[in-house]
Structure 1
């Protein structure tokens, strides 16, 4: 009986889609891919992941830039325990493995074409209740 209830709960959650997700869950969906999906051809990673994660949606403009953190989510959450900068953003204490997707060409509507770049950067986030809710940018390690 408990298995059936769990199955129904998972089915209902899947049918609900992104409607009931928290801001942190939305952040994870849009910005965390760990372990990094490797079953995709490298040159198609951005297009497929942005569609799969619901960032690129038919009928909506292409997102100019999106960054995926290819590290465990707890590494990004660690930023929220740091001291915020003057603008109120928090930075991860260590550089993380990232894939930055930048819109290529003049496509403003799907199908969108992106250029992927692999980086080791610190991630700057806005936090709410100790959890990241917005990726504000990235920067290279000092030195």
Structure 2
């Protein structure tokens, strides 16, 4: 009887570990979500260049039917390692880390008052520094951008 309980407990533990492993395999880390929502390197060229934001936000599952349109989103056209490197920079007073150099990016801003798909965006090409918050040495949130000092 005792052996049966031990075997049952062992089986339950194995199943719990298996389920936890599978959940982690299909789950998206905060860093993975950051990459999906904000890094487009090399820059994707769409057939209709003026539709870049709509195309990328839909392709990257940032906007989707049934969800409100995201008011703004920025795509950085630099390698992910350049944004990871920002995490080694000294944080500012608000705790954000900035890239040491300006990088190419596309800033998408929702046009009009439509907050439900289909979403229409205005795109601006910029060369800005990028501010991120980091966890474990990896960027997990794009906190904003700013123009280089002239």
Query: TM-score, normalised on structure 1?
Result: 0.86
CA RMSD of aligned residues (A): 1.4
- Structure 1: gaps (5+ residues): 1-15
1:104 to 85, 108, 111: 111
The reply on whether 1:34 has 2:48 as its aligned counterpart is: no
**Alpha-carbon separation, structure 2, partners of 1:32 and 1:124:** 13
| In 2, Cα distance between equivalents of 1:77 and 1:94 | 13
Q: Secondary structure at the match of 2:87?
A: helix
Structure 1 ranges of 4+ moved more than 6 A: none
Aligned to 2:73: 66
Q: Of 52, 56, 59, which residue of structure 2 is paired with 1:52?
A: 59
User: Unaligned 5+ residue runs, structure 2?
Assistant: 1-22
CA distance in 1, matches of 2:41, 2:47: 14
> What's the CA shift for 1:27?
0.1
Shift of 1:64: 0.4
Supply the distance in 2 between the matched residues of 1:47 and 1:25 (Cα, whole angstroms).
21
1:128 to 127, 135, 139: 135
Structure exhibiting the larger radius of gyration computed from Cα positions: 2
